[in-house]
Amino acid sequence: MTNNELGERIALSPSQCSRRRTRLEAEGYIRSYRAYLDQQKLGLDMLVVISVTLATHNRDNARRFSQLINGLPEVLEAYALTGEMDYHLKVATRGLADLSKFVNDVLLPHESVQHVKTSIVLDTLKTFEGFPVHMPGSWHGDSTR
């Protein structure tokens, strides 16, 4: 979005928008700009959530698993969790055959992995498009109202 377009949307001049954007970048609020690619047009027709339990719970095993995951382009997001499962992975593949290879040839044979539970996404109800900007009183359950 250009500074002219932004200025029109929020009733500021393009130069004011430029200064504010530059400040937000310098202060680290804006870390990068990204293009969101169409998953289906890239041939990645299957979105999967994979829950992983580690074989042993120690720092070295967690590090090995992290190194594995960070080297896999199929893994879009990965989260360490509390609770029953140790990790949740958001994975995109071209289809069931690729998913099977990913689980059976990559995840399960890895020394750090004990158990894998795979859930295929049937429909996406909401995707992340950026953090909301908090306005006082705008959050559900906000006690400052």
- Domains present along the chain, CATH in parentheses: 1-34 (no CATH), 46-120 (3.30.70.920)
Q: In this predicted model, what pLDDT tens digit does every residue of 20-50 receive, in sequence order?
A: 999 999 999 888 888 888 888 998 999 999 9
pLDDT tens-digit map of 69-115: 999 999 999 999 999 999 999 999 999 999 999 999 999 999 999 99
Place of tokens 């504010």: 20
* 111-141 per-residue burial string, b: 16 or more CB within 10 A, e: under 16: ebbeebebeeeeeeeeeeeeeeeeeeeeeee
Per-residue pLDDT tens digits for 124-140: 999 887 777 765 566 66
**What CA–CA distance (Å, rounded) separates 20 from 92?**
36
User: What's the predicted TM-score (pTM) here?
Assistant: 0.79
